[in-house]
Each structure stands twice: as structure tokens, then as C-alpha cells.
């Protein structure tokens, strides 16, 4: 009997070791597929990214980063309900994930919930190993402007620039902030600093440029930016605001 019990125990140990190796392989497979998905996402290949994420989740359906990346893909595809679920799932699996907090915060801000977004950026900043705290501060600043908290916005944006001097995302945030405060000359200064790095402006930045140039009385520049906005992004919310004469 004693020999039989030892044999069973030995089988149990082998089984545990086997499960451990299997779990590690599943985890590594999910990690590789998720990293591939992130690369495809950055290149705008969203369908391929989703295929890789499907493979990642099939390998390990509790690998938090895969849900974080899928949230970004679905956000880009405007599948907002699904994106929201993915970000919340990522945070449930890994509540301390700075990346997931930052991404979910940006999602909430972009979808009309800027006040709800700030706490997520601040949660991201609690991680001392987070490698892009400047981006979390810049995002918090931009979203605080949307939430009409200009004092907090200025503090966040200044912190971003301390961590990353000349940071373009903080510069465009300060352009928005100074426009909101009525300092249009300084708003233009910060926007020009942003444009030294990014000359291909997004709809939000083109619309800001139109409004700044109107306020400083430069009609030709304002019309040039307006023309770019109408031609490059005719379906954008900003082009619709321009068309409405706002």
C-alpha cells in the first residue's frame, strides 16, 4: 500500500510539472500573438491584429494585455461597447496595469467622459516602472481641459514637459489650454512648436489652428487651415463645425 501511495504522489508531481510547462507555453504564446497584434495595430492592419488577438486569447484567455490591445483596436473601429468591455476586462485581470489605465482613460475622454478619465491616468502614474508617465500626464492635461478644469490641466501639462521637454503632445495641450484662457498669441506659440514636429495635423489640431488664426486676425492662415480640414477630413466632426460656421 505504501508503495502505491508513493507512486500516486509521484504521478501527481509529474502532472503538476506538466501543467506548469503547459501554462507557461500558453502564456508565452499569448504574449507573442499580442505583441504581433500591437505591431499590426500600429500599421493600421486592424483585421490582422484582431486575428492575432483571437489566437492570443485562445492560448490564454486570462492574459490581460491582449484585452488591452483589443480595446485599442475596437476603439479605432468605433466598436465602443466592445472596446469598453475589453478595457474593463484587462483591468479586472490586472488592476495595476498602467498601460490599460492610460488607454481606458483616453477612451473615456474621447467618448465624452473626460471627468471619468482623469482617475485612470492618475492610476497609471502610480506605477513607478511605467515607461511613459509623460504621456499619462499629457493625456490627463488634455482631458482636464475637456472637463473644464484648467488649473489641473496646466499642472498636468507642465509635469509632462518636465519629464519630456518639448513634448509635442504637451505643446498642443498647452495650445488648447491657452486658447481656452483667451491667450491666443501664446496658444499659437505652442501650436507652432507642435507643428515643428508634426506638420501633418489631425482634424482636432487643424480646427484649433483655424480658431487661433481667426482670433489673432490672420484670415489667410485661417482659411488655409480650413481648406485642409475640408479637403482631408470632410466627414470629421471638426469639418462639420467649420461648415456650421462655429
Structural domain contains residue 246: yes
Domain assignment present for 77: no
Query: pTM above 0.75?
Result: yes
Predicted confidence at residue 132, as pLDDT, reads: 95
Confidence of residue 5 (pLDDT cuts 50, 70, 90): very low
With cut-offs at 50, 70 and 90, classify the pLDDT of residue 134: very high
- Provide the pLDDT confidence category of residue 19 given band limits of 50, 70 and 90: low
In a domain, 145, yes or no: no
Q: Give helix then strand counts, H and E, for the chain.
A: 13, 0
Evaluate if residue 169 carries a pLDDT over 80: yes
Q: Which of 51, 31, 112, 100 is nearest to 72 (CA)?
A: 100
Q: Determine, yes or no, domain membership for 211.
A: yes
What mean pLDDT, rounded, does the chain reach?
91
pLDDT attached to residue 199 = 79
Residue range of the domain that includes 234: 200-246
How far is residue 210's CA from residue 213's CA, in Å, rounded to a whole number?
Answer: 5
Q: Is the Cβ–Cβ distance between 124 and 94 less than 8 Å?
A: no
Measured in residues, the chain has a length of 246
Count up the domains in the chain and report the number. Answer: 1
With a cut of 90, say whether residue 154 has pLDDT above it. Answer: yes
Return the percentage of the chain with pLDDT > 90, whole number. Answer: 87
Question: How far lies 180's CA from each of 68, 103, 145, 146, 149, in Å?
Answer: 33, 25, 8, 10, 11
Of 60, 9, 12, 56, give the one whose Cα is nearest residue 33: 56
Q: How confident is the model at residue 198 (pLDDT cuts 50, 70, 90)?
A: confident
Say which range, 15-19, 89-93, 209-213, has the weakest mean pLDDT: 15-19
Residues 160, 170 contacting (CB under 8 angstroms): yes
Highest mean pLDDT among 19-28, 227-236, 237-246: 227-236
With cell 488655409, the residue in question is: 224
pLDDT at 22 over 90: no
Indicate whether 40 belongs to any domain.
no
pLDDT band at 24 (very low <50, low <70, confident <90, very high): confident
Residue 213 lies in a domain: yes
Which pLDDT does position 245 carry in this prediction? 77
Q: Is residue 224 part of a domain?
A: yes
Residue 212 inside a domain? The answer is yes
| pLDDT at residue 179 greater than cutoff 80 | yes
Amino acid at each position: 500500500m505504501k508503495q502505491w501511495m508513493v507512486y500516486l504522489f509521484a504521478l501527481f508531481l509529474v502532472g503538476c510539472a506538466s501543467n506548469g510547462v503547459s501554462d507557461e507555453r500558453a502564456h508565452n504564446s499569448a504574449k507573442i500573438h499580442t505583441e504581433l497584434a500591437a505591431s499590426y495595430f500600429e500599421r493600421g492592419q486592424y483585421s490582422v491584429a484582431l486575428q492575432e488577438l483571437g489566437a492570443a486569447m485562445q492560448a490564454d484567455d486570462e492574459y490581460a494585455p491582449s484585452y488591452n490591445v483589443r480595446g485599442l483596436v475596437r476603439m479605432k473601429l468605433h466598436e465602443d461597447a466592445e472596446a469598453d468591455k475589453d478595457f474593463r476586462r484587462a483591468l479586472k485581470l490586472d488592476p495595476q496595469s498602467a498601460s490599460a489605465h492610460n488607454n481606458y482613460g483616453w477612451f473615456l475622454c474621447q467618448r465624452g467622459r473626460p471627468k471619468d478619465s482623469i482617475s485612470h491616468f492618475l492610476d497609471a502614474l502610480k506605477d513607478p516602472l511605467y515607461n511613459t508617465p509623460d504621456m499619462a500626464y499629457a493625456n490627463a492635461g488634455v482631458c482636464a481641459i475637456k472637463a473644464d478644469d484648467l488649473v489641473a490641466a496646466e499642472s498636468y501639462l507642465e509635469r509632462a514637459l518636465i519629464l519630456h521637454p518639448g513634448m509635442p503632445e504637451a505643446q498642443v495641450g498647452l495650445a488648447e489650454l491657452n486658447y481656452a484662457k483667451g491667450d491666443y498669441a501664446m496658444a499659437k506659440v505652442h501650436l507652432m512648436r507642435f507643428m515643428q514636429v508634426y506638420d501633418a495635423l489631425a482634424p482636432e489640431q487643424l480646427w484649433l489652428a483655424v480658431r487661433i488664426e481667426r482670433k489673432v486676425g490672420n484670415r489667410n492662415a485661417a482659411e488655409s487651415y480650413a481648406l485642409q480640414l475640408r479637403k482631408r477630413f470632410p466627414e470629421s466632426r471638426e469639418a462639420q463645425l467649420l461648415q456650421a460656421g462655429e
